[in-house]
């Protein structure tokens, strides 16, 4: 069995790509660190690093070990946190990665209810986009991701679909395009766009809409990590942005509206993702169960019939 101390030394070298810097971070001498790496290589009978002019890089064996070692380290942290919580009479800590929609839709309600039921729960909520959240999940930095499921299948990631979402285009209620009956794709290119930073999946979907209409991709004038800053900018200028439809009621409170764009803009499946190779903590399992129950209730309570059209108001001259 590999000593956990050797794995910590190994991961430090992987992260720093420099033995001296890794030794300093671990508060041990460089010879001691080198000896530990040699011992680990001897146990596995492979080379874990290659020396380069700028430092060291992991070999293919080193990369494989790093992926598993991070999961081992993460599981140890989870176990330590859970044991400490049990000693203090609590239920532990959970780290949740959430896409922009989830920060204001469904997840806050579920988390508030979960914390109310288990007062000793500690939740770390990390916001991001698919391009940042899924790597965090694979590294073990988050326990569960609530986001779009519009990413390639991965052998280590389980997905569970909870609801379907479509994207709309937002702008000011008095935006020049808001008065149009139907907005042609070409007209959207006349205005500056806002997007979430590092959201290459989302920007790619926006680009696909224009490509399908024989047009070039829009220019993203602003990239932000904050939903609130996006909505504020939309209020203050002639910007446009693509957001999930459930955000529209919140946006309308700020003087924004969904613009009447022609055609289907973007639809996707939303839900949760977690690592298959990780043993789910009781708290993570409780959150998954609570999210599933939340959306089962929403589907059950949804009206079975379409709302009736309101009769048109008659003018005073109508008999």
Instruction: Give the model's pLDDT for residue 82.
Output: 60
Is the model's pLDDT at 192 over the cut of 70?
yes
pTM over 0.85: no
pLDDT band of residue 39 (cuts 50, 70, 90) is very high
Question: Which is nearest to 227 in space by CA: 258, 199, 262, 265?
Answer: 199
CATH topology of domain 81-163+269-297: D-Maltodextrin-Binding Protein; domain 2 (3.40.190)
What is the rounded average pLDDT of the residues 120-137? 90
- pLDDT value at residue 280: 81
B/e letters for 109-130, b = 16+ CB within 10 Å, e = fewer, are ebbeebeeeeeebeeebebbbb
What tokens does 124 get?
A: 């770390």
- Is residue 277 over pLDDT 90? no
- Please report the pLDDT score of residue 319 as a whole number: 31
**What does the alpha-carbon distance between residue 7 and residue 27 come to, in Å, rounded to a whole number?**
15
The per-residue pLDDT for 279 is 74
219: left (phi over 0), alpha (psi -120 to 50) or beta: beta
Structure confidence at residue 78 (pLDDT): 63
Would you list the domain boundaries of the chain? 4-62, 81-163+269-297, 165-266
Most confident of 64-78, 254-268, 293-307: 254-268
Equal CATH topology for 81-163+269-297 and 165-266: yes
Q: Is the pLDDT of residue 131 over 70?
A: yes
Tell me, what's the pLDDT at 311?
A: 42
CATH number of this structure's domain 165-266: 3.40.190.290
Residue scoring higher pLDDT (90 or 165):
165
CATH architecture observed for domain 4-62: Orthogonal Bundle (1.10)
């Amino acid at each position: 069995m590999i000593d956990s101390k050797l794995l910590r030394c190994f991961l430090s070298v992987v992260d720093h790509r420099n033995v001296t810097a890794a030794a300093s971070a671990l508060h041990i001498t460089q010879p001691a660190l080198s000896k530990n790496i040699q011992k680990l290589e001897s146990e596995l009978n492979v080379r874990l690093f290659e020396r380069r002019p700028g430092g060291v890089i992991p070999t293919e064996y080193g990369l494989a070990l790093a992926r598993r070692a991070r999961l081992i380290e993460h599981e140890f942290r989870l176990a330590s946190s859970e044991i400490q919580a049990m000693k203090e009479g609590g239920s532990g800590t959970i780290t949740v990665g959430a896409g922009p929609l989830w920060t204001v839709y469904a997840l806050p309600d579920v988390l508030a209810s979960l914390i109310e039921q288990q007062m000793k729960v500690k939740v770390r909520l990390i916001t991001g986009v698919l391009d940042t959240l899924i790597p965090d999940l694979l590294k073990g930095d988050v326990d569960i991701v609530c986001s779009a499921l519009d990413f390639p299948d991965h052998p280590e990631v389980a997905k569970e679909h909870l609801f379907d979402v479509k994207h709309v285009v937002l702008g000011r209620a008095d935006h020049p395009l808001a008065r149009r009956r139907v907005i042609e794709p070409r007209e959207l290119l006349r205005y500056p766009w806002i997007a979430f930073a590092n959201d290459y999946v989302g920007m790619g979907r926006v680009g696909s809409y224009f490509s399908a209409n024989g047009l070039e991709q829009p220019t993203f004038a602003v990239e932000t990590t904050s939903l609130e800053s996006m909505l504020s900018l939309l209020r203050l200028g002639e910007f446009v942005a693509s957001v999930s439809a459930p955000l529209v009621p919140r946006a309308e409170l700020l003087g924004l509206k969904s613009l009447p764009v022609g055609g289907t803009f973007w639809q996707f499946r939303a839900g949760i993702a977690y690592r298959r190779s990780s043993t789910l903590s009781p708290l993570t399992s409780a959150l998954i169960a609570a999210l599933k129950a939340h959306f089962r209730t929403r589907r059950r309570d949804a009206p079975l019939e379409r709302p009736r059209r309101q009769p048109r108001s008659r003018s005073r001259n109508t008999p």
